[in-house]
Structure formats: structure tokens, C-alpha cells
A and B are shown apart, each in its own frame.
Chain A
Amino acid sequence: MAQLPEEHFMDTAQRLDSDSIIANGSGHEQYLTFMLAGEEYGVDILRVQEIKGWDSATRIPNTPDYVQGVINLRGTIVPIIDLRMRFNLEKLEYGPTTVVVVLKVESENKHRTMGIVVDGVSDVYSISADELKSAPEFGDDVNAEFVKGLATIDEKMVIILNIDKLLNSRELNVLDSAANER
């Protein structure tokens, strides 16, 4: 079961190599994309520390339910956030392609390492700044804050996420207290 995702990221890693050779223009940034409920999301590839298969996490009591818990990443305690639950999407049983993307997050001048659970990694794209369109107003929906922009690749829309905003500790605290009040 754990074999399949490994192959999957070997695949990605190879593509990642070839892409980095192709990408040479200034203003082009590379994004790692992953699938979540049929949509493709992207994060800045320089923030991706590693991609690993899903393994059980230790639950942390009294935290919002999208905090899956903490795992041991070579001696460091790393919290894992389920992105489907974070975005209020329908819950999906973890399967063979379910992976954890470990990201380096900057918040309040502090570096944190956090993992996000996604349905599966997809591709690496080079996207220039002007290809990135700002997202339309979503109204009061807090989720809009996490979106850095939208890009169109092969007629498909890719949602580029601002992970610093998404995985901000303050954000977690706010939601935590909101969850407690309920």
C-alpha cells in the first residue's frame, strides 16, 4: 500500500528535474500541484520540503478536526493538516495515493514545518507572474485569503495557494478558539 505513492513521487521527482532545466525565464516560478476533490491546487515548489506517504498521526486533543495530529519526521514533531477538512470539503478515506506534502511555512518571522494531506500530487508547472490572475471576490468567504491567484494551464484552472496565510499559527489559534466556543 505504501509502495504506490512512492512510485508516484519518483515520477514527480523526475519530472521536477526536467522542468527545472526547461524553466529559465525570469519571473517564472515553479509550482507543485496536487489534487483535492477534483480541483488542482498549487504551492510554491521552493516551500516544499518533501512528499511522503500517509502514515498515521498522533491526535492532539482539543484542536480543530482538520488538525490530523502530529507525526515524527526524523525526530521533529510536525503537525499534519487535512486540507479537505480545512476547506470544508467532503471527507475522503485515505487511500494509496493519499500523500502528505511537507511544507516550510513562514509566520511571524518564524519557520515552521507543517504537513498537508492531499488526495495526490499532480505535476510541476512553471508559471510567470502575469499568467497568474487574481481570484475574483469570494465575498465573506475566509478561504479567499489563502488564494494567491489562479492560473490556466492546458485549459485547466490551477488554484495557487498562499501557504503562509493558510498555515499561519494565528489562523490556527483563531479557528481553535472558534472551535472551542462551539
Chain B
Amino acid sequence: MSIDLSQFKQTFIEESLEGLDIMESTLLNLDVGEADLEAINTIFRAAHSIKGGSGTFGFNDIASFTHVLETLLDQTRAGERDVTAPAIELLLASVDCLREMINALQDEGATYDEEQVASVQEKLEIMLNGDKESNTESPAAAGSTAASEKNPTTTSGWLIKFAPHPDMLRTGNDPVLMFRELEGLGSLAVDVDTKVLPGFENLLAEDAYLSWEIRLTADVAKDQVEEIFSWVDDECELEITALAPAGDTAEDEVVVEPEPQPVNTDVKATPEKKAAPAATKKVAKKRSTSTEATSIRVGTDKVDALINLVGELVITQSMLSQLGEEFDMGKIEKLRNGLAQLERNTREMQENVLRIRMLPISFSFNRFPRLVHDLTQKMGKKVDLKMSGEQTELDKTVMEKIGDPLVHLVRNALDHGIESPEERIAAGKDPVGTLLLNAYHKGGNIIIEISDDGAGINKQRVLDKAVQSGIINSPDDISDDAQVFDLIFAAGFSTADVVSDVSGRGVGMDVVKKNIKALGGAIEITSQEGKGSTFSIRLPLTLAILDGQLVRVGEEVYIIPLISIVESLQIDKKSVNRLAGCSEVYRLRDDYISIIRLYSLFGAKPDSVDLEKGLLVVVEGDGQKVGLFVDDLLGQQQVVIKSLESNFKQVDGVSGATILGDGTVALIMDIGGLIDLSNTLQRDSSDGAVA
């Protein structure tokens, strides 16, 4: 019986990538010189399951790579190796290699950098063999036995008695796969014991009756053999003995420190009594969602909640239809109650369905420890990364799109923000800088803050650079701090004196702002020279729903996102001025804002063109305030955003459409686009006037 394994391949890939994430984050938390057994076990387990899985699926390159990695980890776990900084670096490099290899599996046709993998594998082997060689070369001279292997490798093979418990097959373990893997180690001679095999009429197809005696002729360590059976070691009787008594098979022999060998890594085995090999446990995998995957894993609690709600909805529906069948005016109260219940059900349902798409922001934050680790090493800075609010939930789509801007901001904070240790000491600060990532909910938004305690933004330098690169004409154009900081987001702006590979090319910050804007969010900077800067990103929780203000222009109803409305007011004719005869401006306290007559922009028939008879909705988009002239404000409601593009096309000044309570379609305004549209039209008309 052969099983089609390909259907599990995707699961393997996803789980392996998760395993790698776990390995990576645990590695980053490891302290040099101090072997935290639990952490090392975690790393080991992840590596182990990747190896097991890749072996099963026949991804031999991954399996052999992981094998070396695993052996190294196993020794560390057993306390034979110190955790050194180069070892951690090497392990991180191997994690990268593995990730690349697994990604190559996922995208068919994609290849990974084989040279890179080979070189890392070689380094791993050197680190590993550094000890091994010393053992094999000088066992007699030093009077020591092997340090790196639990058993000497001088045996000619192993006798394996393998008797599965009857129910082993039911756990999904297949002896064939194990034998296949054993075969990979060396030549096999197998005797099968059919003594307990019942007669055909008593045979249960799902029970295991056979047991085997396997002679493996190979120069391999005992734990390599044990490894193969590690998934089933509590489901079978397993006895592994050396074939030829060439080596000492005692488990707890005293290990003597090997002679130091000139190897290019400084890992050394520690003279320690060997810990008994911990039974390999099946890895309890953390169920989480990979951020790039198109599928989404949803907690059963969320699904259960939905099923409950659907049940309630069905009950409400049947109650209402029963009511409808024999309805008279006496039952109107009952109908009202029913409808109220329906509304409650629907709202709860909506909330729950949206919650399915919500993921904690930790999925996005998780990549930063590694990024910070790598960058600080490269730049010779010392940075302590702190994260808080990782459990804040955010829509999956928003999360995917915010990843790159966040990386960019973190890079910037490390490169431009936090100073080198020398500079910090000179400034009287702790030589270790702090980078804080924080996320929290505020109203209908999520706020993500990236703060550093670095040098802050030098306003004068920003101004000088902006003038130099022609973004502004003279520093006098800019008055307040916010505008100065805004210059950072201008295309082509960079204050870095030297262009490094980390940042300083002047592309990026404008893209960051564009991406955030595309998500309906905003970014703000606060900075104090010498104290540090904070970038705070405000994003809508979801892209599917927004709070809208319904406005009426003649017969037509439009929706303005509530988030962009500053205020609404009745127009005082005295505050309206005409600029150069064409555009109108309104004096709002100390500000002048231009008036956009929505009816003329959208070609609608208004109730009145008289400004005093309508209302002015002051909105803000692209950091610009304008007043929209409408006939009336109708009401506020949550609207579900529907795409116009899916069946039609992008329309200027409109971000989407929604369906109102009466079934008609209303357009949702895109304030930024609206302002652009109005500017373009105005420019066109004034050009026309000149011509």
C-alpha cells in the first residue's frame, strides 16, 4: 500500500518553516556560555522534526543538512559543547540555509544557493569533526573514548530487534519508511518473526503482528539508529546492540577532554559526564499561521463561536417566518423583538467573521529580533530590542502589507537613530541603545510605535538637505516641526552622509508613507534631538469595514470615511473669499481652507448652489484640509467596503462602494483622490482660461 505523500508536502513545508522560526527566535534568546537546556531542547526538537519530515518525503539534501545540524545540537544538549557566539552565528546561518531550501521546495522550479548551503554544511561538519577527529586520531594516546558520540563508531554494525506494539500502525507510523531510512545508513539483513501472526479469519488489518530482527552493517552511531525509531519508541519494543564487539557500548562512560585541535571554530567539548539521552518526544507543534500563506489557520474556539451564532440565526429566522405565516397586528411587538434579535445576531456574526481574519501582530514583530541582531552586528552597535503589545490583533491583509514598511522603519531607527556605543558614552547615555516596538488599539485603529533612544532628528540638517536636494526652496518655507519631519517622507530625501547597504539611498521613506496611506493609515513622527524619535503608525483594524458619514448631494448619497472628517459646519458667507476669481476659500478660525463643491466635481444636481443653504464638511486627506460642500448630512453607519474594480475599474475620488440598508449602492469617497481630482480640474480650467 503506498500513500500519496504529496498532499502532505504543503503541511510539511509550513510546519518546517514554523519550526525554523521557533529555532531562530530561540537561538536569538540563547545566552553565550550558558546552556539553557530547555531552549536547546526546543531547537533540537524543531531540527529533528524537519529532518524526520524531509527524510519521509525524500528531500535528501535537507535531511542530510539537518542531520549534521542535529548532531551538533544533540551534543550541545548533552552538555558536551558550550554555547559560543560563533556557534550561534553558524546555527543562525544554517537556519537561513534551511529556510531557503524549503522555500525552494515550495516554489516549483526555484533553486537555492547550493554553494552557500554546502559551505555552511562544511562549517557545521568542521565544528562537529573538530572533536571527532581528535577522538578517532588519538583515542589510545589520550586514553579517551569518543566525546562526540555516545558510542564509538568503530562498530561494524548493529543488531536491531524491533517489535511494534499491535496498535503502532494506527498512529500513522509505517515500518516501511523506517526500513527505507535504515537502508540509507548501510546494508540490511532482515529476519521477520511471524509467530504472533493470527489466522486469516482473526487478522485485524490495522494491527501490527510482525516483528523484525535487523542486521545493519554500517559504520554509524547508535543514536543515528535510535533516531529512526524515535517516533515510535513508546509504541514498540526496541533493542539495539552492537554487532561486533569492537566498541564499548556502555552508556555512561567517562569522557575525557580531547586534545585541542586547530579548527577554525572555537567550539570545544566539555569534560562532563554524559547525560543519559533524553527520550525524543514528539514535537508538540505550535499552531500558528505563516504570514505569506494564502490559507489561514483559525482557532477552533473562533469557529465554534461562529457555529453557535449560525445556530441562533437559524432559530431567529424560523421564529420570524412562523410569525410571518399567521401575522396580525396584535403580534407587532413580537415582530419587533424578533427583528431586534436578528439585528443582534447579525452584528455578532459580522464581528466574529471579521475576527477570523484577525491575527496577533506578533506574526509581524517576530522577524525583528533577528533583523536587529544581524544589523547591530554589522554596524557595531549595541541595541536592546523591546516589544510590547504583541497580542494586539490586526487584519491579516493589513498585517501582510505593513511588514515591509515596519522593516524599513526599524532599519532606519538602527542606522540613523541609535548611535554607536562610543557616541552614546560621549553623550552620557547607556552604551546599549533601546528600540521599542509597541502596538495597541485606540478607537477603531491600531497604533504601532517604533521608538528609539538615539540621536533624534536634527531639524537643521533635514532642512539643509531638503534645500540641497531641491525639495523645498528655502528653509523659511517650513514653519513647524511636523512639517520638517514630513520632509523625511519626500521622495529622494536622505540625510545619511554615506550611502550604506542598510539605508541612505533616499528611496524608502516615501514608499513607507505611500504604503501606509494605501492601507488607509497615517504616520506621525515625534522626535527630540539627543533623546530619540518615535514613529507612530495608525492603521484601520480592518480593510473590510469602515465607519462612514452619509452625505447627500441632490438625490445622490455618498459616504465620507468618518476617520477623515475633522468637523462639519454651517457656512458663514462672511468667511468665504474668492481667490483670483476662481477657487473659493473659507476662513476657519485661523486657517484658510479651500472649498470643493462636490456637485460640480461629481456632476450631480444639487438642491442649491447657495453655500449658505448647504453644509461644509471639513475633511483631511494627504495632510491637507479642505471643505466639501454638500446639501445635507444624513447619518453615520458602519459600511462594508465593496470593490468597484472587480467588475468595473478604479474611479478617481472614489475608493469603493457599499450597499445601503435599502439595497442601493452608495460610493465611498477617497478624500486624498478627491483633492487631487479637484486640483487637476482646477488646473485644467485655469490653463484653459489662459489659452
Contact = CB atoms under 8 A, between A and B. Distances in A.
Interface of A: 56-63, 69-72, 75-79, 112-114, 169, 172-173, 176
B644 interface: yes
Nearest to A176: B649
A70 B648 CA distance: 9
B657 A70 contact: yes
B604 A61 contact: yes
B603 A72 contact: no
Contacts of B644: 60, 70, 77
A77 B556 contact: no
Interface string B634-676: 0000000011101111011110010100011111000000000
A9 to B, nearest CB: 20
B664 A113 contact: no
Contacts of B649: 169, 172-173, 176
B602 interface: yes
B601 interface: yes
A163 to B, nearest CB: 14
Given A58-B657, A61-B602, A61-B603, A72 B651 contact: no
A92 B649 CA distance: 27
Given A76-B642, A77-B642, A77-B644, A61 B663 contact: no
Contacts of A176: 649
B604 A79 contact: no
Contacts of A56: 664
Q: Which of A56, A70, A169, A176 has the most CB of B within 10 A?
A: A70
Nearest to A79: B648
A182 to B, nearest CB: 12
Q: Which of B556, B649, B664, B666 has the most CB of A within 10 A?
A: B649
A59 B657 CA distance: 11
A61 B653 contact: yes
Interface in B238-267: none
Contact of B647 (A57, A61, A114): A114
A114 B651 CA distance: 16
Given A72-B659, A77-B643, A112-B646, A61 B651 contact: yes
A114 B644 CA distance: 12
Given A58-B665, A61-B653, A113-B647, 8 more contacts: A57-B665, A60-B651, A61-B604, A62-B653, A77-B644, A77-B657, A114-B648, A169-B648
B653 A79 contact: no
Contact of A112 (B647, B657, B665): B647
B659 A75 contact: yes
Contacts of A79: 647-648
Interface of B: 556, 601-604, 642-644, 646-649, 651-654, 657, 659, 663-667, 677
A78 B665 CA distance: 10
Contacts of A70: 644, 648, 657, 665
A160 to B, nearest CB: 24
Contacts of A59: 556, 604
A58 B556 contact: yes
Given A58-B667, A72-B664, A63 B651 contact: yes
Contacts of A63: 651
A72 B654 contact: no
23 contacts: A58-B657, A58-B665, A60-B654, A61-B653, A61-B654, A62-B602, A63-B651, A70-B644, A70-B657, A72-B659, A72-B664, A75-B642, A76-B642, A76-B646, A76-B647, A77-B642, A77-B646, A77-B648, A113-B647, A169-B648, A172-B648, A172-B649, A173-B649
A60 B659 contact: no
Contacts of A62: 602-603, 651-653, 677
Q: Which 5 A-B pairs have the closest CB atoms?
A: A61-B602, A58-B665, A79-B648, A112-B647, A72-B659
A113 B644 CA distance: 11
A47 to B, nearest CB: 14
Contact of A72 (B601, B643, B663, B667): B663
A60 B647 contact: no
A154 to B, nearest CB: 36
Contacts of B601: 61
Contacts of B667: 58, 60-61
Nearest to A114: B647
Contacts of A112: 646-648
A173 B652 CA distance: 12
Contacts of B602: 61-62
B666 A58 contact: yes
Contacts of A172: 648-649
A169 B657 CA distance: 18
A114 B645 CA distance: 12
Contacts of B677: 62
Contacts of A58: 556, 657, 664-667
Contacts of B665: 57-58, 69-72, 77
Nearest to B557: A58
Nearest to B649: A169
Nearest to B684: A180
A112 B647 CA distance: 5
A112 B646 CA distance: 7
Contacts of A169: 648-649
Contacts of B657: 58, 70, 77
Q: Which of A59, A71, A113 has the most CB of B within 10 A?
A: A59
